[in-house]
Amino acid sequence: MNIHSKFETEMQVRPDDIDLFQHVHSSRYMDYVLAARYDQMARCYGMSWETFIQRGLGWYLTAITMNFLRPLGLGERFMVRTWIEEFLPDGDGVRVRFEIEKQATGKRCLNGHAEYKLINLATSRAIPIPEDIKSKYSI
């Protein structure tokens, strides 16, 4: 297992993230991870989501595991940390690990991992990850 660089994106809970139980709805945590990855693709890896689209490529989510540890509440600031854990053995995917922690306490709220396949947007079929992309994502 190769652990690559970890990157962070700071966020804040918005009113529309809150559910009937007065904490962040479980589905919003995935939104936070995706928003952080979108930010980090351009800012940290130097290859934005738009660059993938221009090349006719996209990342397709194939699996996700999320472990909920403690809730986030309205207005709380938090850090989303993500990193590539490994390139998958079939050559067309990656496993991305993530964690979310409260800024005020440093306590972890969530951790997990997601697997993505690189697809050709014209065919919607998985393709091997090109070497230049592997290189950018191997930092």
Q: pTM for this one?
A: 0.93
For the chain, list the domains and their CATH numbers: 7-136 (3.10.129.10)
The pLDDT-based confidence of 4 (bands split at 50, 70, 90) is confident
What string of H, E and C letters represents the secondary structure of the chain? CCCCCCEEEEEECCHHHECCCCCECHHHHHHHHHHHHHHHHHHCCCCCHHHHHHCCEEEEEEEEEEEECCCCCCCCEEEEEEEEEEECCCCCEEEEEEEEEECCCCCEEEEEEEEEEEEECCCCEECCCCHHHHHHCCC
Q: What is the pLDDT of residues 32-86, one digit of tens each?
A: 999 999 999 999 999 999 999 999 999 999 999 999 999 999 999 999 999 999 9
